């Protein structure tokens, strides 16, 4: 059973460009979460999605950031007009197997560098 | 402010010794989870302990939870160099899905 997959693993963007981060949850999981980690810090919750629904986006900046989890395909975290402060590691997690709904399994992360 | 805070921030021990990390939190929780993160990598889930549980074991790992003190500890016995990593506790302050992480304990196990 493949784990949570994220791509790309590393992404370099110039200021003003768009960044698209993809996450494929574990097989059978229907809940996806995005977190951001700054250097030397813990992860900060951004958004929680189920298929075609955003359940909680309280941790996501109102401007420039958006997330989706379509019926088919991976979840996408999109950052428009990136700025240097967006440089961080972005982790996706998934959960949802019956009897184990509370455990979140994390992907390897996408490390975004904004030049 | 952080819901979960680990201490110490950094810990250096000799291979074979035990390592104890602590986590304190502020509000009531449903679950508390411990994760390991190797440098530059993703998080690996170690253990989930529910609020009605006091102790849980998994291999060389032992986790305790004291809800009256709002604290948890992670004990790694007979440490190995491969245990070198950052360890995070994560709590679910408002719900069972929004995990709130502390800043982590950086463990170095010297061979």
A2-46 tens-digit pLDDT = 789 999 999 999 999 999 999 999 988 889 999 999 887 889 999
Report the mean per-residue pLDDT for chain B.
90
When pLDDT is averaged across residues B12-23 and rounded to a whole number, the result is 96
| Closest-CA residue to A51 (of A74, A81, A78, A83) | A74
Percent of chain B exceeding pLDDT 90 equals: 70
pLDDT more than 70, % of chain B = 93
Q: Are B49 and B67 in contact (CB under 8 A)?
A: no
Token look-up 């997690």 returns A93
The whole-angstrom separation of Cα B85 and Cα B70 is 24
Chosen for mutation from A42, A46, A90 (greatest number of chain B CBs closer than 10 Å) is A42
- Which residues of chain B make contact with A33, given a CB cutoff of 8 A? 97, 99
Q: CA of B68, closest CA in chain A: separation in Å?
A: 22
**Test mutation, B47, B85, B99, chain A, max A CBs within 10 A:** B99
Q: Which two tokens stand for residue B90?
A: 């994560």
For residue B8, whether the previous peptide bond is cis, meaning omega lies within 30 degrees of 0, is yes
Sign for the pseudo-dihedral over CA of B21, B25, B31, A2? negative
Cβ distance of A109 and B92 shorter than 8 Å? no
Query: Distance between CA A99 and CA A114 in Å, rounded?
Result: 40
In this predicted model, what pLDDT tens digit does every residue of B60-105 receive, in sequence order? 999 999 999 999 999 999 999 999 999 999 998 666 678 888 889 9
Query: Between residues 61 and 90 of chain A, which touch chain B (CB distance below 8 Å)?
Result: none
Which residues, in sequence order, are bridge partners of residue A92?
Answer: A34
* Bridge partner list, A111: A10, A89
Q: Which structure tokens are listed for B76?
A: 């790694």
Considering only residues B5 and B1, tell me which one the structure prediction assigns the higher pLDDT. Answer: B5
CB B5, CB B22: distance < 8 Å: no
Characterize the bridge pairing of strands B19-25 and B4-7.
Answer: antiparallel
Q: Lowest mean pLDDT: which of A57-61, A64-68, B28-32?
A: B28-32
A99 and B CB contact within 8 Å: no
Position A101 confidence tier, pLDDT thresholds 50, 70, 90: low
Residue B2 — pLDDT band, cuts 50, 70, 90? very low
């Amino acid at each position: 059973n493949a784990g949570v997959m994220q791509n790309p693993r590393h992404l370099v963007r110039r200021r003003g460009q768009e960044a698209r981060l993809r996450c494929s949850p574990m097989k059978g999981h229907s809940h996806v979460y995005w977190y951001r980690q700054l250097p030397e810090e813990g992860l900060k919750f951004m958004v929680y999605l189920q298929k075609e629904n955003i359940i909680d986006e309280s941790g996501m900046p109102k401007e420039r950031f958006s997330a989706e989890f379509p019926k088919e395909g991976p979840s996408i975290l999109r950052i428009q007009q990136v700025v240097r402060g967006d440089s961080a590691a972005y982790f996706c997690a998934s959960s949802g197997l019956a009897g184990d709904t509370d455990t979140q399994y994390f992907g390897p992360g996408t490390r975004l560098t904004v030049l | 402010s952080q819901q979960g805070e680990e201490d110490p921030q950094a810990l250096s021990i000799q291979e074979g010794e035990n390592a104890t990390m602590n986590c304190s939190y502020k509000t009531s929780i449903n679950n508390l989870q411990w994760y390991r993160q190797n440098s530059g990598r993703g998080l690996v889930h170690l253990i989930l302990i529910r609020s009605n549980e006091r102790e849980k074991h998994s291999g060389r790992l032992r986790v305790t939870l004291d809800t009256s003190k709002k604290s948890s500890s992670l004990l790694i016995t007979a440490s190995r160099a491969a245990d070198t990593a950052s360890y995070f506790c994560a709590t679910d302050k408002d719900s069972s899905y929004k995990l709130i992480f502390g800043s982590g304990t950086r463990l170095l196990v010297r061979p």
